Structure 1
Amino acid sequence: MAETRRIAHLDMDAFYASVELLRYPELRGQAVVIGGGARHQPVLLPDGTRQFSRLRDYVGRGVVTTSTYEARALGVFSAMGTMKAAALAPDAVLLPTDFDSYRRLSRLFKAAVAEIAPHIEDRGIDEIYIDLSEHPEETRALALRIKQAVRDATGLSCSIGVAPNKLLAKICSELDKPDGVTIVSYEDIPSRVWPLAVRKVNGIGPKADAKLAALGITTVGQVAAADEALLQEHFGLNYASWLKRVAHGQDERAVVTSHEPKSISRETTFERDLHAKHDRVALSEIFTRLCQRLGEDLARKRYVGRTVGIKLRYSDFSRATRDVTLPLPTADAAAIRRAAGECLRRVPLDQRLRLLGVKISALSSMDDPGLDLSATPRPRQGELFADL
């Protein structure tokens, strides 16, 4: 199989945690968990040292945003309940999230990469794909130069995998973390990819992993060797065919250098369950703040949207969503707040709430010459702070 492409996947190492270690270098080498609230901000003591919150003192319903590699060695990973994490690593330091800083460092590392290799697909705050196919420089030297540029711009390390396609590049960027460079060819698949657990393949989730395990298939190599009829029997024709292709390292997806989002959202999980009646003031403030931040996101990304929606998760983990389509697109926080309030009046509010979210979709670019925002209604400012 001809290897005409060189696709890199760059993944920042424990990104949020690493940003915090820039701020608090005395925590290097320690188990640190990111995901606390404002009350977990470190306290500066009279002697100039800092006093940090510990995971053992946490009480609430939050989840871990990320953790250092030392905390991961103790079993603490992202999306884990913080109370569960406290049982595993009670002495770990707990820090609040600071998304403004994470976004700032994200912009810096992406700009540094673009100076060297501009064909970038943005995959989130801490990872990108880079098409290096037309770059004249030798692969390893180029990867090392990109890594150094990221470090010079941010003070942070990253890991890079380079392969003939996006599937393999993403897999191999994880093989030598942290601060690694891994280059994989098709010939390397049997030795580097087939021994890996099937869950290492992006697109094989927990349910598929469990079904494969029940068939005695736990590695990528076993998927490659599996009888296709057996896979079709348990997964259907399309997914079975996809499993066989990815197990052999086949992926024709292009690096997409421009991406239009389908929606933009903001949501928050409460430290404790809140009730619409008894916690009306707190919920109204949170609701308004989410709409304000959503408006800021739209303005920064230069989008307007027509469909505003809400998402609720109740204390029993059931969910409710509602949306409304506006006559004209908007990026105005007050208009979003008013539309989201209309949605909120259409859902049951007799249970306590765990999560509240606001979303806007049917997006258009503010720079679209055919877009006319002059007639967009502007609600009175007082409506922005209306009660739930």
Structure 2
Amino acid sequence: MSDLPRRIAHLDMDAFFASVELLRYPELRGQAVVVGGGHRSEPTVDEHGTRHFVRLREYAGRGVVTTSTYEARKLGVFSAMGMMKAAQLAPDAILLPSNFDSYRHYSELFKSAVATIAPRIENRGIDEIYIDLTDVPGETRTLAQRIKRVVADTTGLSCSIAVAPNKLLAKIGSELDKPDGLTLLTFDDLETRIWPLPAKKVNGIGPKANDRLAALGIHTVGDIAAADPALLQQHFGLSYATWLTRIAAGIDDREIETSSVPRSKSRETTFSRDLHPRRDRAELSERFTNLCVRLAEDLERRNLTSACISIKVRFSDFRTVTRDHTLEAGVADAASIRRAATECLKRVTLDRSIRLLGVKASALSQQSVDGSVPKWVQSEMQFDASGGI
């Protein structure tokens, strides 16, 4: 363990998915762009070679926004928002389909680029990482500038980075000066830069906790710092109250985890129209198949196996049911995932139309041997309204 003061960076790519799309369509720079449409939102090219884009007002369906450019965000359009609501706010915004293969490609590029400067990296998702700079030679600001430059040179994309004494402050800091931000924080900055922030800006204070804090007159991080610990304990319990007190003081002892296994992987889809288990059996079978195949690809990419497969079914009346199936040994291939998911399906009464279908792999572990996964013959299995195969 180094005796040097900790220098922990959090790097967050700026509007990542949208920015990757702008590499493909540079003529859209500076415009309100929303990503999340299906294949029907693919641009078309006329006989003169001119691209024509779909406008958000033309969308009809139940999809949600995957991401949006900063110009669209100024109009109130954010990720996870229903597409129809987004269309009301920004009808003239350009709509593009998601391209996750491309996003994963650029994710690998920027992480590999950062590793050439600072190899101790904690992967936090497709577009963000923590970086331990403690033992990396160089002045802090210069290191951060080098990292931003290598990411830009490698990907053509911008990122925001904050360097702080711990992960908590680095995570908060990377949001302070977006986009293309470079933020340096010390404990001396708590009162001026952290305490004025809304409490919900802290990762770990969700909507319910934020509402409960607001009911007590606690709205900012500074309010938490000034709150009576006994009051916090009375309303949140000892453990969470202690955590609130620590984060308000900027205390976070978590280490950088350079190798970790995610808790779960999942794939789900919301249908553009409700699908009936019998009348739309063929389409449901194809969608169910595709979810299992894509989930298997996710596991294969990370060299993971799953010992528990779950399904989620949301019906047309918004009633949602989940079922899981524990396996004797971990699996990673689509055929095994599909069989386990079907076992879950057998325990669901499919008596009405379905709005959403999802498959999840949990109890994950790293494969000890790197072998090829069996190929799955899609036609072997069919969606059955009775839950059978």
TM-score of the two chains, using structure 1 as the length reference: 0.94
Moved over 6 A (4+): 376-381
The offset of 1:377, in angstroms, is 10
User: Structure 1 pair 275/3, CA: closer, same or farther in 2 (3 Å)?
Assistant: farther
- 2:207 matched to which residue of 1? 206
The offset of 1:381, in angstroms, is 6.3
Moved more, 295-304 or 223-232: 295-304
Moved more, 117-126 or 296-305: 296-305
Please say if residues 36 and 97 of structure 1, whose CA atoms lie closer than 8 Å, have aligned partners that are also in contact.
yes
- 2:249 matched to which residue of 1? 248
Between the aligned residues of both structures, percent identity stands at 66
1:247-273 deviation per Cα after TM superposition (whole angstroms, max 9, x unaligned)? 111111111100012322211122222
- 2:47 matched to which residue of 1? 46
**What CA distance in whole angstroms lies between the structure 1 residues aligned with 2:379 and 2:237?**
55
Instruction: After TM superposition, list the pairs within 5 Å mapping 1:52-91 onto structure 2.
Output: 52-91=53-92
1:80-117 deviation per Cα after TM superposition (whole angstroms, max 9, x unaligned)? 11111111111101111000000000000000001110
**What CA distance in whole angstroms lies between the structure 1 residues aligned with 2:340 and 2:375?**
12
- How many residue pairs are counted as aligned between the two chains? 383
- 1:285 matched to which residue of 2? 286
- 2:155 matched to which residue of 1? 154
**What CA distance in whole angstroms lies between the structure 1 residues aligned with 2:374 and 2:183?**
54
Could you tell me which amino acid in structure 2 is paired with residue 253 of structure 1?
R
**What CA distance in whole angstroms lies between the structure 2 residues aligned with 1:381 and 1:174?**
44
Moved more, 42-51 or 167-176: 42-51
**What CA distance in whole angstroms lies between the structure 1 residues aligned with 2:376 and 2:96?**
38
- 2:223 matched to which residue of 1? 222
Instruction: After TM superposition, list the pairs within 5 Å mapping 1:123-202 onto structure 2.
Output: 123-202=124-203
Please say if residues 7 and 163 of structure 1, whose CA atoms lie closer than 8 Å, have aligned partners that are also in contact.
yes
When the two chains are superposed, the root-mean-square deviation of aligned CA atoms in Å is: 2.1
Instruction: After TM superposition, list the pairs within 5 Å mapping 1:243-322 onto structure 2.
Output: 243-322=244-323
User: Structure 1 pair 188/323, CA: closer, same or farther in 2 (3 Å)?
Assistant: same
Could you tell me which amino acid in structure 2 is paired with residue 158 of structure 1?
C
1:266-296 deviation per Cα after TM superposition (whole angstroms, max 9, x unaligned)? 1112222222122211111000011111222
User: Structure 1 pair 43/350, CA: closer, same or farther in 2 (3 Å)?
Assistant: same
User: Structure 1 pair 185/83, CA: closer, same or farther in 2 (3 Å)?
Assistant: same
Other structure's SS at 1:306 match? strand
Could you tell me which amino acid in structure 1 is paired with residue 314 of structure 2?
R
- 1:383 matched to which residue of 2? 380
Please say if residues 161 and 183 of structure 2, whose CA atoms lie closer than 8 Å, have aligned partners that are also in contact.
yes
The offset of 1:386, in angstroms, is 5.5
User: Structure 1 pair 378/91, CA: closer, same or farther in 2 (3 Å)?
Assistant: closer
**What CA distance in whole angstroms lies between the structure 2 residues aligned with 1:41 and 1:13?**
23
Moved more, 209-218 or 82-91: 209-218
Could you tell me which amino acid in structure 2 is paired with residue 383 of structure 1?
E
Please say if residues 16 and 66 of structure 1, whose CA atoms lie closer than 8 Å, have aligned partners that are also in contact.
yes
- 2:108 matched to which residue of 1? 107
**What CA distance in whole angstroms lies between the structure 2 residues aligned with 1:379 and 1:292?**
8
- 2:336 matched to which residue of 1? 335
Other structure's SS at 1:56 match? helix
The offset of 1:63, in angstroms, is 0.7
**What CA distance in whole angstroms lies between the structure 2 residues aligned with 1:3 and 1:218?**
35
Other structure's SS at 1:116 match? coil
**What CA distance in whole angstroms lies between the structure 2 residues aligned with 1:380 and 1:317?**
33
Please say if residues 261 and 366 of structure 2, whose CA atoms lie closer than 8 Å, have aligned partners that are also in contact.
no
**What CA distance in whole angstroms lies between the structure 2 residues aligned with 1:38 and 1:237?**
50
